[in-house]
Amino acid sequence: MTTETDQAPGRAAGRRAWLRDHSELGVCALLLALGVLVLADALTMDVDIAQRGPVGPRTVPVAVGAGLLVIAALLAVDVLRGGRGRAEGGEDVDLSEPADWRTVLLLSGIFLGAAVLIEPAGFPVAGALLFWGAAFALGSRRVDRDPLIAAVLSLITYAVFDKLLGVPLPGGPLMGVL
């Protein structure tokens, strides 16, 4: 005769196996949370009465939030009906190898450093450090050309956004030069 305590480890293992088989539900939960967050933010947005019209500043966020909720629901239904995500046939990722945490941490640090530097140093300097640091973190060791390519790429990006598209980016100390 089995007792309830004998069956508990079996139930826990069964629950873990079910969760592992339906792990895509985590993506559904993330999409649901993002959709609710976007909709809540869009619906509580302050809109000046003069800006009202058929298409106002709430239109795109509401559409994106509703789209996220619909995609979350459709994905959850698909997963619960047995749908599974499959790796592409051309993927060359060896899942038996451990993750390269050094590269991930380097890229995260470089990204955060650029975010901190963008206001005081300006976009051209912070962008150049971002591009150069990303190239270094991903394995490039060409110290003769990488900084030059990063600087040119950053200046082109700054010029396109700030001058051509009219998106104001902080120029930092280079504001008078550019």
Tens of pLDDT along 79-116? Answer: 888 877 666 665 666 767 787 889 999 999 999 999 99
Q: Which residues of the chain have pLDDT under 50?
A: none
Q: What is the pLDDT of residue 123?
A: 92
pTM score, two decimals? 0.54
Cα–Cα distance measured from residue 29 to residue 75, given in angstroms and rounded to the nearest whole number: 10
Q: What is the pLDDT of residue 132?
A: 95
Tens of pLDDT along 102-112? Answer: 999 999 999 99
**Is residue 117 within 8 Å of residue 173, measured between CB atoms?**
no
User: The tokens of 137 are what?
Assistant: 């973190």
Q: What is the pLDDT of residue 178?
A: 60
The domain spans of the chain are: 10-46+56-80, 101-174
